[in-house]
Amino acid sequence: MKRRKKIDIPFLSIIIPFYNEGGRIANLSLLFHYLRQKKFSTEVILVNDGSTDESLKLIRKILKQLPPHHFFELISYQMNKGKGFAIKTGMLKAKGDYRLFTDIDFSTPIEEFDNYLPHLKKFDILIGSRKKRGAKLLMHQPKIREKLGKGFTKLSQIFLGLNLLDFTCGFKCFSKKAAEEIFRRQRIDRWGFDSEILFIGKKRGFNIKEMPVTWRDDSNTKVKLPHDIITSLYDLLRIRLNNFKKYYD
């Protein structure tokens, strides 16, 4: 669904996956407001990951109301395949010189991308971090989720050899080359995909920089404890196995 002629190579592609987000679709107004103030060219790719609520209907309604100078593309499929699959789909569809994925709840405000701009030419991958010095947590997660998250981070560091503080913040930007090399090799479709794409990025020789961000917990998160934590830990083993099988080469 296109609102204007697509720029052949936009400066920035923004990929936003969504699954049953009817109550959050209105958050896109924050993105519209931000993009209206920017001079660089953009495309926004919305990926409907098999929603069964009114999300798709609401998105289509909003897109019809946009001014013609906005470019949005909607990708939709019927079966839910996971956040990782949705982001991979959007990343490989994107054309931008830089490709950012973010969540539709905008737990990390889209304005944080302004802090990324000075670093884009120096680093292949910029990842939002809630644990880097300078990060601002406006609302913390429940203590049990914070403890489990710290445990997952530690295991990711040990299993994958990555010296990073935050693997799962949903605000990551890739150069075109990094995105195409990494996401073509991605094999994990659900919660463990963050660790996988960072592991692939390091293995492929891309430099990664953690950026402190402002972040607010969303109490309506789709994360299900303890199921998704257990699944993510299993995914760490899958990453090591995939690497052994040379899937990332």
Domains and CATH numbers, the chain: 12-244 (3.90.550.10)
CB 56 within 8 A of CB 87: no
pLDDT on residue 222: 55
CB 147 within 8 A of CB 232: no
CB 216 within 8 A of CB 130: no
Q: How far apart are CA 28 and CA 82, in angstroms?
A: 21
Task: With CA atoms as reference, report the closest residue to 131 among 141, 122, 118.
Answer: 141
pLDDT on residue 223: 54
Phi, psi of 211 (to 5 degrees): -115, 125
Per DSSP, 7 falls in state P
Where the chain has pLDDT below 50, the residues are 1-5
pLDDT on residue 220: 62
Provide the b/e sequence for 45-73 (b: ≥16 CB within 10 Å): bbbbbbbeeebbebbeebbeebeeebbbb
Q: How far apart are CA 10 and CA 43, in angstroms?
A: 7
From the CB of residue 247, how many other CB atoms can be counted at a distance below 10 Å? Answer: 14
pLDDT on residue 3: 45
pTM: predicted TM-score of the whole model, two decimal places? 0.90
pLDDT in tens, 9-30: 899 999 999 999 999 998 998 9
pLDDT on residue 196: 97
